[in-house]
Amino acid sequence: MRNTWIRRISAIRKDGVESAINLTCGLNCIIGASNTGKTRIAKTVEFACGGKELPFTDKTAYEIAQVTFVTNGGEVSLSRSIHVQNTIHVKSSNPMIVPGSYSVSSRAGKSINTVLLALLGVESTRRIATNETYHTVAFTWNAIRHLMIVPEDQIGRARPSILFPKSTSLATLTQSLSSLLVLVQDEKIDNSIQTESASERHARRKAVEQFIHQQLDDIEPRIRHLEEMRHIATNEGKTIHTYLEDLHKKALHVEQQRQTLLNRDAHTISHISQLNQQYEHLEVLIRQRKVLISQYESDAARLDLQLQAMKHARTHAYPATCQFCHSPIHMSVPTEQDILIVSTEIEHIHRIQADVETDLAILVDKADEVQQELHLEKQQHRQNMHSLKSDIQPTAQHMQQDIEQIAHAEQLHAEYAELIALHARFNKALDDAGQATQNDEKYKPRECFQSDFWYSMNNTIRSILQQCHFQGADTADFSRSSFDVEIAGYSKADEQGKGYCAFLNSVVMLAFHDYLNEQSKHTPGWLLIDTPLHGFDEGIRPLEDSSMKVGLFSYLAKQAVSQQIIIIENTNHMAGIPLDDNINIVEFSKDKHNGRYGYLDGIYDVSDES
């Protein structure tokens, strides 16, 4: 898939408001003063494509980073929230890319890595070598992301080469070069030629020997036990086979004992369950009787109080007039018949209460009997389990072990002899393999690059430097050892300052993309460089046509005919650089009343917030 470019970079707020940068397929210059959010633009692209660094903070209220790519087959849009960082949502009108939710992890079943590699036309199953013995790992977007997005904090570095990830070391250099080979010439690693290092051969030999010795150590005790069984059988006047038959009979008898005990215990458990139910029922009846007795006691006490009041009323007359309102009181005095009725009711309640208390005592005695029986049954169950675990099961297991060990007697002898022979064969095979693999060809990725790559990188770097009026352009070379530009044989780290490092890194990246545009099946189609003039000051140049930065932007416009280039720069760096009408210019004014203040709508520098 070719001719991919970024049409739109967006930041979306919680309320749905979008701050967007619209781009063209040629040269795009995003220009602004410090603290206008320029660096957030590169971070938005990187984050939307699976990067770790957040492009926004909670303070900004922006939460979704979105990038829209234009491809030959249609548009592809990637959206990712800073609050749900594990998922990237993909919208696609390209039939080669399935829309949906993808995981950031390259190990997930549906990984965003497959989408990003598809934009490059690389299959997701591609693998790259990690060392000289052709050990491989999966080829991922993260391995080459730095070749499309060059952030401000990396453009000015002296080491390693800008074509390598910033974390590249001697240990990971082979993997970095192997990743470049995929883009440069569609290099594919044949897993069948994977070789073995000396340390790996030594480790494998040691592991095999350890395995064999472990097997021998495991077998020897079993063989000794077999000999003991044979000795016991001989003392009893039996062969090993008749001894084995006796063991089978004893084991069968023990199994019958176990089954009998389990059946008896099953009956015990069933009886325990019945007793539990009976005891619970008795507890309910006892609680009911106690409640009933309490109610009878309350009723008797209430009626007794009423009886005492009636007797008092017969001996003490009621007042005829209310002492408060002086109204007449009309109350009849209780008769002897009234008093007799209440007394009779009290006696009736006491008789019923006595019957209930008798019933309660019977229930309590019955509950005690059930509880004692339940205790005995539980004790019997524990004894059954103890007998099963401490006597019957250990005896059965011991007999079964003896049976199994004797049954494998001949096999053990044969296995022991075979392991001894196997040990010798493995040692011989390892010796032969060690001798044969000493001459295996090692993987040297630098030697895999075709000659036209070195030739093109040299010529293109010199050509760009010449067009930029760089003094010493004719002495520039692309080093095979450092994979970086050298001037008169000296590296950037030896001779160049921060500003010139940024300038030369931009040149190397442009030369690399120029080669991809001309030769590669997997050219990205776009390049974003944040501040290529970072820290660059060429001094006073009286003639515009001799300015290095003017020459650089003139060359950028030429290369942008073949691909999209996105440049992010500070306003003061762009002074004196003419930009023609074919360049898409996005300018941040850092003025709340004039033009577009910055990248994020409503976000201002601290000094401008008042």
Tens digit of each residue's pLDDT (9 = 90 or more) over 127-156: 999 888 888 899 999 999 999 999 999 999
Please report the pLDDT score of residue 2 as a whole number.
45
Indicate the angle between helix axes 336-387 and 240-315, nearest 10 degrees. 170
My answer on whether 253 and 320 are in the same domain is: yes
Q: What is the DSSP string of 441-509?
A: PPP-GGGGS-HHHHHHHHHHHHHHHHHTT-TTGGGEEE-TTTSSEEETTEEHHHH--HHHHHHHHHHHH
Residue bearing the bigger pLDDT, 249 or 364 = 364
Q: What mean pLDDT comes out for the span 20-39?
A: 95
Is there a domain that residue 276 lies in? yes
Residue type, 320: A
My answer on whether 348 and 424 are in the same domain is: no
Residue bearing the bigger pLDDT, 249 or 606 = 249
Q: Does position 1 have pLDDT exceeding 50, yes or no?
A: no
Residue bearing the bigger pLDDT, 449 or 609 = 449
163 class by beta-carbon count within 10 Å (0-12 exposed, 13-18 middle, 19+ buried): buried
- Four-residue CA torsion sign, 356, 360, 361, 362: positive
Residue type, 42: A
What are the Cα distances from residue 232, in Å, to 97, 242, 418, 553? 75, 12, 28, 98
Place of tokens 């044989």: 489
Of 187, 178, 181, 191, which Cα lies nearest the Cα of 131? 178
Q: In the structure, what pLDDT confidence band is assigned to residue 19 with cuts at 50, 70 and 90?
A: very high
What are the Cα distances from residue 486, in Å, to 109, 162, 165, 498? 44, 13, 19, 15
My answer on whether 293 and 307 are in the same domain is: yes
Place of tokens 């010439």: 185
Tell me the residue length of the chain. Answer: 610
Q: Does position 413 have pLDDT exceeding 60, yes or no?
A: no
As a whole number of angstroms, the distance between CA 522 and CA 504 comes to 24
Residue 9 Ramachandran class (φ > 0 left, ψ -120 to 50 alpha, else beta): beta
Please report the pLDDT score of residue 63 as a whole number.
96
My answer on whether 324 and 340 are in the same domain is: yes
My answer on whether 424 and 284 are in the same domain is: no
Q: In the structure, what pLDDT confidence band is assigned to residue 248 with cuts at 50, 70 and 90?
A: confident
As a whole number of angstroms, the distance between CA 268 and CA 339 comes to 61
Q: Does position 533 have pLDDT exceeding 60, yes or no?
A: yes
Please write the tens of the pLDDT for every residue from 256-306.
Answer: 888 888 888 899 899 889 989 988 999 999 899 899 989 988 988 898 898
Q: Which of 191-205, 420-434, 469-483 has the highest mean pLDDT?
A: 469-483
DSSP assignment letter at 544:
G
As a whole number of angstroms, the distance between CA 224 and CA 413 comes to 11
Q: Does position 51 have pLDDT exceeding 90, yes or no?
A: yes
Extract the tokens encoding 295: 């109610």
Is there a domain that residue 346 lies in? yes
Is there a domain that residue 559 lies in? no
Number of H helices, E strands in the chain: 13, 16
Phi, psi at 121, each rounded to 5°: 75, 25
Q: Does position 498 have pLDDT exceeding 70, yes or no?
A: yes
Is there a domain that residue 101 lies in? no
Is there a domain that residue 288 lies in? yes
As a whole number of angstroms, the distance between CA 304 and CA 501 comes to 111
Mean pLDDT over the full length of the chain: 85
Least confident of 218-222, 375-379, 450-454, 557-561: 218-222
Please write the tens of the pLDDT for every residue from 116-135.
Answer: 999 999 998 999 998 888 88
My answer on whether 272 and 210 are in the same domain is: no
| Angle at 575 (CA atoms; ends 557, 473), nearest 5 degrees | 55
Residue bearing the bigger pLDDT, 205 or 576 = 576
Please report the pLDDT score of residue 426 as a whole number.
58
Q: What mean pLDDT comes out for the span 164-186?
A: 91
Residue bearing the bigger pLDDT, 243 or 309 = 309
Q: The CATH number of the domain where 321 resides is what?
A: 1.10.287
My answer on whether 357 and 400 are in the same domain is: yes
The share of the chain scoring above pLDDT 70, in percent, equals 84
Please write the tens of the pLDDT for every residue from 299-351.
Answer: 888 988 988 888 887 777 767 787 888 788 777 777 888 888 888 898 999 99
My answer on whether 225 and 357 are in the same domain is: no
As a whole number of angstroms, the distance between CA 492 and CA 512 comes to 17
Extract the tokens encoding 297: 């006691």
Is there a domain that residue 170 lies in? no
The share of the chain scoring above pLDDT 90, in percent, equals 49
Spatial contact of 122 and 179, defined as CB atoms under 8 Å apart: no
Please report the pLDDT score of residue 439 as a whole number.
46
5-13, strands of its sheet edge to edge: 18-22, 5-13, 62-71, 74-81, 87-92, 100-103
What are the Cα distances from residue 224, in Å, to 406, 421, 447? 11, 20, 60
Extract the tokens encoding 223: 């063989």
Is there a domain that residue 171 lies in? no
Q: Among residues 406, 428, 463, which one ends one of the domains?
A: 406
**Host domain of residue 252:** 240-406
As a whole number of angstroms, the distance between CA 31 and CA 531 comes to 10
Q: In the structure, what pLDDT confidence band is assigned to residue 240 with cuts at 50, 70 and 90?
A: low
My answer on whether 279 and 394 are in the same domain is: yes
How many Cβ atoms are within 10 Å of 43's Cβ, its own excluded?
A: 21
My answer on whether 278 and 306 are in the same domain is: yes
Q: What mean pLDDT comes out for the span 229-235?
A: 62
Q: How many domains does the chain have?
A: 2
Q: Does position 442 have pLDDT exceeding 70, yes or no?
A: yes
Extract the tokens encoding 560: 């942008």
Of 163, 172, 175, which Cα lies nearest the Cα of 134? 175
Please report the pLDDT score of residue 201 as a whole number.
61
Please report the pLDDT score of residue 609 as a whole number.
63
Q: Name beta bridge partners: 91.
A: 77
My answer on whether 254 and 312 are in the same domain is: yes
My answer on whether 378 and 288 are in the same domain is: yes
Please report the pLDDT score of residue 450 as a whole number.
92
Q: Does position 108 have pLDDT exceeding 90, yes or no?
A: no
Residue bearing the bigger pLDDT, 224 or 396 = 396
Please report the pLDDT score of residue 68 as a whole number.
98
Q: Which pTM value belongs to this model?
A: 0.62
HEC states along 100-169? EEEECCCCCCCEHHHHHHHHHCCCCCCEEECCCCCCEEECCHHHCHHHCEECHHHHCCCCCCCCCCCCCC
Q: In the structure, what pLDDT confidence band is assigned to residue 575 with cuts at 50, 70 and 90?
A: confident
E strand spans, 176-290: none
Is there a domain that residue 110 lies in? no
As a whole number of angstroms, the distance between CA 154 and CA 150 comes to 7
As a whole number of angstroms, the distance between CA 500 and CA 548 comes to 10
Q: In the structure, what pLDDT confidence band is assigned to residue 419 with cuts at 50, 70 and 90?
A: low
Q: Does position 570 have pLDDT exceeding 90, yes or no?
A: yes
